Amino acid sequence: MRNFRHMIKEQTPLYIFVAVLFLVGVVFGALIVSALTMDQQQELTDYLGNFFVTVDQHGLPAAPESFWSIAGLHLKWIGLIWILGLSVIGLPGILILDFLKGVLIGFTVGCLVSQYSWHGLLFALVSVAPHNMVVIPVLLVCSAAAIAFSLLMIRSRVVARRPLSVGRPFAMYTLLSFIMALLILGVSSFETWVTPTMMRWVTPALVQSAPDVNGR
């Protein structure tokens, strides 16, 4: 536990860096929404309208298959970050993934707000925000650890006159990634069985407001 606290303290600047990079991605994703053409906005409106009607009438399936699909998607992000952290050339890939995650969330929330105003914001608060309050910190922690290990590999192979020992840092890095993966499994359970119910609470308001938003 002491080693983990020491590692987290050392990596604090990296946490700040990846958090800022993620936030820049969120802003960029939100700006993309305003750059969509009228046809693209109409297609997006139709897709969201059909989705909300389906959720309102039938709900979303909450089954073990859905759980493993959701968990698998999150675990792929963690696994890819872990793999990129093992290589000297993987550092840019980690930064791209953090920025891309921010873009995806910014675009999703931006679409909902632009099409449905405060109803869309309410839907984002129950569908996007809850699980991402855990998923995003997990990914940022994994990213900071991956960047730190990648920098250690660079110092060991390029800068240092003789190879540095990476056995213990590798074990700590892998253990941290494993712990984060366990947290992802827990939040995936919430996303599978709780989030669909919360989404169905607010979809009636979205379905009712859709004609006004579409101008029909």
Q: Residue-wise pLDDT tens for the chain (216 aa)? A: 566 677 777 788 999 999 999 999 999 999 999 898 889 888 888 888 888 888 878 767 666 778 999 999 999 999 999 999 998 788 999 999 999 999 999 999 999 998 888 988 999 999 999 999 999 999 999 999 999 999 888 877 666 566 667 788 899 999 999 999 999 999 999 998 898 888 888 888 887 766 444 444
Instruction: Output the CA torsion sign for 32, 33, 35, 40.
Output: positive
Task: Say if residue 51 is exposed, middle or buried (CB neighbours under 10 Å; 0-12, 13-18, 19+).
Answer: middle
Dihedral angle of Cα 93, 97, 98, 101, to the nearest 10 degrees: 170
- pLDDT the model gives residue 81: 96
Q: Mapped to the 3 state alphabet, what secondary structure does 3-37 carry?
A: HHHHHHHHCHHHHHHHHHHHHHHHHHHHHHHHCCC
Determine contact, residues 55/202, Cβ cutoff 8 Å.
no
175 CB contacts (<8 Å, ≥6 apart)?
none
In this structure, what token pair is assigned to residue 205?
Answer: 């308001």
Domain total in the chain: 1
What's the whole-model pTM score?
Answer: 0.86
Determine contact, residues 112/123, Cβ cutoff 8 Å.
yes
Query: In 10 A of CB 13, how many CB atoms?
Result: 10
The residue segments making up the domain with residue 13 are: 2-214
In this structure, what token pair is assigned to residue 180?
Answer: 């984060």
